[in-house]
Structure 1
Amino acid sequence: MHTLLTLLQWLLGVGAALWLLVVAGMALFQSRLVYHPSATVTATPSDIGLAYEPLWIDSAHQETTQRIRAWFVPASGPGTSASPMPAPEGNLARGTVLFCHGNAGNLGHRLETIQILHRLGLNVLAFDYQGYGESSGHPGEEQTRTDALACWDWLVTERGISPKRIILMGRSLGGGVAARLAADLAAQGRQPAALVLESTFTSLPDVGARLYPWLPVRLLARHTYGTLELLPSLARVGLPLLVIHSPEDELVPFDLGQSLYATYQGPKDFLTIQGSHNQGYLLTGPAYDQGLDAFVSRTLTSERNDS
């Protein structure tokens, strides 16, 4: 009996030590768990027959300035030119989407999304966060915040596009980035036309607590991306919101997307898609395009009538 008790105590001790080791690892290497950048960009819009302008945009964070890579893909039609484009808000562009991608890969992995948005007659500005692809620096919550703001400023200041013609769109982690940008802009009285949150969480700790219920995720979290807490400020300015989510999402539970929609007290729509976290927008097929197209039409028509 004494031997059994000793063995149990030893096993509990080993288990506790391993648990503490995992907790320490999560605390020390949290950024590596959140961000999964890829340095090599293996494809560009020209590979799918789209004209685009490669850009370097300065993103200032604290006392440093990093150069982030962005692509501007106009709605003017097919081509392979990489030279500067004419002013994009012509007859062929319904509006412009500032797209914030997820936590893995780089711009070269977003071509399907760019193609869908181009097919809907929209200009697209997509960018890589600091530390992703060709962008310098290292990723972080404040860095993604300043990167998105720098891209917004480029659209409005350098390209001369009206904020009322710009839709912010974020997928997964990018939804948290886009929501933060929308809130920052709303606080300054220069809100965009609309916000699209696809496969997005209420907060990063909420997702972590679901994936690792046996770890003190909320206590350890340094990166929060608290999207849910930003919604009241967006509702106050009447920003149209589209939430897109799949019940089959294995990383960000469907009910988190439902919570975003249910909490929001402004004009809103919900688009249910099919498939996994990373494939839903592709596997859903025409219904995805149609749902996004309907929201864009209502939003930009409303903005045009108000202007």
Structure 2
Amino acid sequence: MKHSKKVAGLAGLASVLWMGLTAAVAANQKRLLFNPLGSKREVLKPYSSGHRTRPIVVRSNDGTRLSGWLMTPPVAGPHPGVIYFGGRSEEVSWVARDAGKLFPGMAVLAVNYRGYGDSHGDPAETHFVDDGRMLFDWLSERHHVDSKRIAVVGRSLGSGVAVQVAMERDANSIVLITPYDSILALAQRKFKAIPVEYVLRHKFESVKYAHHLKAPTYVLRAAFDDVVPHSHTDLLVEKLGRLHADEIVPDSDHMNIPYLEATQQRIASFLASRFNQPQS
């Protein structure tokens, strides 16, 4: 009898702990998933040596103020364009610093997500995707940008934004840096004992949308990645509608990959080859 009560007590305690952990993950998922690290800029005075660089403020469809940078080549356009979507804790001012190497001869738009940098609002998957579509339209309407030659580039968390934007907009090309099949799948891998599918509101299920992508898609993986295991990238790549290439950048990890010269040269070369092709 005592043994049965002890077992029942332990089972009850385990149940309480499980429910508590599940509730904690549900309540803190925004911090766990987005983690914008305050408003500190990665680069104090962003400036591209190969572009005219200016800070911009745009309003989302619901009026939220979004802040970032627009970089345009110093010669007359129209130019091909690029929209960059950053990672989980990424403030995007560094893109202005590196745009001369990453995106030579291209107009570049890098805007911080809601709650990141100087952008207002709260981070959420629906907001990121809605804002991404709005930014694509905004850039395509600039007189110095060729609306038929706009690429989307997404890193890590931003790969999920890029996939959904490219699915609904006429992107010329797509670059995905350390992409995943879904944030839901990554969360299930990390929190095996929790019914994540019922509590996670921001699932970023790129694998569900990948087959809709019509533009050539270039996938870049880190050689050592303990955030997005290659198995999760494999599942996405299998579903991509039009894979251009799937490459591993030597000596890279999940954090340093976009800053490496090898990465930047690969992206610049791919986009230049795409933008230089005759337009139908």
Within 5 Å, give how 1:248-267 maps onto structure 2. Answer: 248-267=224-243
Asked if the contact 2:64–2:120 (Cα under 8 Å) also holds between the matched residues in 1, the reply is yes
Aligned counterparts of 2:41 and 2:261: Cα–Cα separation in 1: 28
Specify whether residues 74 and 160 from structure 1 end up closer, same or farther in structure 2 by C-alpha distance, changes over 3 A only: closer
Asked if the contact 1:97–1:125 (Cα under 8 Å) also holds between the matched residues in 2, the reply is yes
Q: Is 2:178 the partner of 1:194?
A: no
Aligned counterparts of 1:198 and 1:112: Cα–Cα separation in 2: 19
Give unmatched runs, 5+ long, in structure 2.
none
Asked if the contact 1:67–1:135 (Cα under 8 Å) also holds between the matched residues in 2, the reply is yes
Specify whether residues 145 and 159 from structure 1 end up closer, same or farther in structure 2 by C-alpha distance, changes over 3 A only: farther
Aligned counterparts of 2:216 and 2:29: Cα–Cα separation in 1: 33
Aligned counterparts of 2:106 and 2:4: Cα–Cα separation in 1: 69
3-state SS of paired residue (2:148): helix
Structure 1 position 260, deviation (Å): 2.0
Give unmatched runs, 5+ long, in structure 1.
77-85, 186-190
Aligned counterparts of 2:67 and 2:143: Cα–Cα separation in 1: 16
Q: Where does residue 208 of structure 1 map in the other structure?
A: 187
More strand by share: 2
Q: Where does residue 96 of structure 1 map in the other structure?
A: 81
Q: Is 2:101 the partner of 1:116?
A: yes
Q: State, as a whole percentage, how many aligned pairs show the same letter.
A: 25
3-state SS of paired residue (2:253): coil
Specify whether residues 164 and 29 from structure 1 end up closer, same or farther in structure 2 by C-alpha distance, changes over 3 A only: same
Structure 1 position 292, deviation (Å): 1.9
Q: 2:267 aligns with which of 284, 287, 292?
A: 292
Asked if the contact 1:131–1:139 (Cα under 8 Å) also holds between the matched residues in 2, the reply is yes
Asked if the contact 1:39–1:132 (Cα under 8 Å) also holds between the matched residues in 2, the reply is yes
Q: Where does residue 221 of structure 1 map in the other structure?
A: 200
3-state SS of paired residue (2:266): helix
Aligned counterparts of 2:86 and 2:139: Cα–Cα separation in 1: 17
Q: Where does residue 25 of structure 2 map in the other structure?
A: 26
The count of aligned residue pairs is 277
Structure 1 position 252, deviation (Å): 1.0
Aligned counterparts of 2:264 and 2:160: Cα–Cα separation in 1: 22
Q: Is 2:242 the partner of 1:269?
A: no
Structure 1 position 213, deviation (Å): 1.6
Aligned counterparts of 2:64 and 2:126: Cα–Cα separation in 1: 13
Asked if the contact 2:50–2:100 (Cα under 8 Å) also holds between the matched residues in 1, the reply is no
Aligned counterparts of 1:114 and 1:12: Cα–Cα separation in 2: 57
Specify whether residues 112 and 253 from structure 1 end up closer, same or farther in structure 2 by C-alpha distance, changes over 3 A only: farther
Aligned counterparts of 2:171 and 2:48: Cα–Cα separation in 1: 30
Asked if the contact 2:68–2:93 (Cα under 8 Å) also holds between the matched residues in 1, the reply is no
3-state SS of paired residue (1:158): coil
AA partner of residue 279 (structure 2): D
More helix by share: 1
Q: Where does residue 306 of structure 1 map in the other structure?
A: 279
Specify whether residues 248 and 198 from structure 1 end up closer, same or farther in structure 2 by C-alpha distance, changes over 3 A only: same
Aligned counterparts of 1:211 and 1:114: Cα–Cα separation in 2: 34
Asked if the contact 1:248–1:254 (Cα under 8 Å) also holds between the matched residues in 2, the reply is no
Within 5 Å, give how 1:171-190 maps onto structure 2. Answer: 171-185=155-169
3-state SS of paired residue (1:263): coil
Q: Where does residue 75 of structure 1 map in the other structure?
A: 73
Give the root-mean-square deviation of aligned CA atoms: 2.5
3-state SS of paired residue (2:201): coil
Specify whether residues 138 and 159 from structure 1 end up closer, same or farther in structure 2 by C-alpha distance, changes over 3 A only: farther
- TM-score relative to the length of structure 2: 0.88
Aligned counterparts of 1:87 and 1:145: Cα–Cα separation in 2: 31
Structure 1 position 228, deviation (Å): 1.3
AA partner of residue 279 (structure 1): N
Specify whether residues 217 and 48 from structure 1 end up closer, same or farther in structure 2 by C-alpha distance, changes over 3 A only: farther
